[in-house]
Structure 1
Amino acid sequence: MKAVILAAGVGSRLGRPFPKTLSILPTGETILGRQIRLFREAGMREIIVVVGFKKTLIMEQHPNVFFRYNPVFYITNTCKSLLCGLEDLDDDVLWVNGDVIFDPGVIQGIMAAKHNVVAVNCQKCGEEEVKYRTDESGNITAISKTTENGEGEAVGMNKVLAAHVPALVRGLERCEDLDYFERALEFMIRDKVQFKPLDISEHRCIEVDFPEDWHAAQQMFAG
């Protein structure tokens, strides 16, 4: 299994002059540094970081991983960064947004699953969060920010089995430049590729989009 971290974005909503994945947690680690460490501890041998905005800062601070460059990061969204990250991969892939802070138990649960996985937090979520809905068999039928009657939040960590990587690539190629990668999952679901939610609510996990998220993250991961 390989890990792909999406860290190409500008992060304009947080308003930092550097990539927000380099924001330093109270423990002294950057968000990205923590992600890389936890993936290594979980046994990930190949970690790919997709960079764009001020890529040199990330590459200099974390030289112990592989990098892929999204040259149009400023006019594309996570769908195209993930497409860059998947190039030539033929293994199971666990991918995560570069601004998600999480406990190691989240990785362990995703890696242990025998199927395609979307990590979810089964709590009430707002307009900005990516929401999901399932059918009677527990398979995801819808996943987007605009999903109605959502059952919880998709937290930005997912896994696709090697056999379905080509379908994910095709879905990402179909996406518009400003789509989130979840749009590709919806294409796959329509083509009968199944994803199941993995409830990680018992673990700490937060995605940092706004200053209030960063404040909450500092308190949540203070030690």
Structure 2
Amino acid sequence: MTRADGGWVVHGTKGFATSATGARWAILLVDPAGPGGARHARGTAAGLLLLACDLTDPAVTVDTSWWDPVGIRATVSRAVRFNGAFFPHDRLIGEPGSYPTGQWQTAFVPHYAASFLGAAEAAYDYAPAYLKHQGKSGDPYVQHRVGRMAVDVDTARLRLRHVAGLCDERRPDQARIARSRARHVIEQTVRHCIRACGARCLVRPSPVERILRDLTFYQRHDNDDHVLAPIGRAALGEPYDPSFHKT
């Protein structure tokens, strides 16, 4: 990214550009201090820029061949190439640094948690019926796993409701860390289904095969260890970053 008269010129590639082939406008978070993803910026967070991008600009192209993931194959995301695209100053959204310092990224955390909860509920719908059909419902270890799934799903629902309540009460600081806690709890549930049902549940057309594959990919947007560490730091009164989960 380089400065130009009246704005900036951008070269490079943005991965995970979902809706790029359908949207006219998109947002782009960039680091004026150097190349690389904004969450790994070498400059200060106060210098990061959130820009409005016109996807019809001829200097912006979409790579439709990029998307070939291990999971969520029913979806599509793109890579977008910026070949000297010009962004005038009036395309800046907020002040420089507003996105990280205002912790706007935390607004996305409940979306992830809700997606994980839907997958966990689907796995929980499948497991008891499958285990009864296989005659395994009397196994105490299976009962423990199913019991843990029941508790986890209920806990996840309550945690998301708690997050919504904090937002309604306009308690943003508490809501931010509560969102991460909800996300962490929900991520753990599907593994109990797999351990209770065994390898057979991972053979197509079992829905668990797809659920595991989808979540394995989707959950990597933020590694769960990096989500859990800021939760611990917050509980210990240490500084933490609820947006990008930096250590």
Give TM-score, length-normalised by structure 2. Answer: 0.25
Larger relative CO (CA 8 A, sep 6+): 1 or 2?
1
Give TM-score, length-normalised by structure 1. Answer: 0.27
Query: Which of the pair has more CA radius of gyration?
Result: 2
Bigger fraction of residues in strand:
1
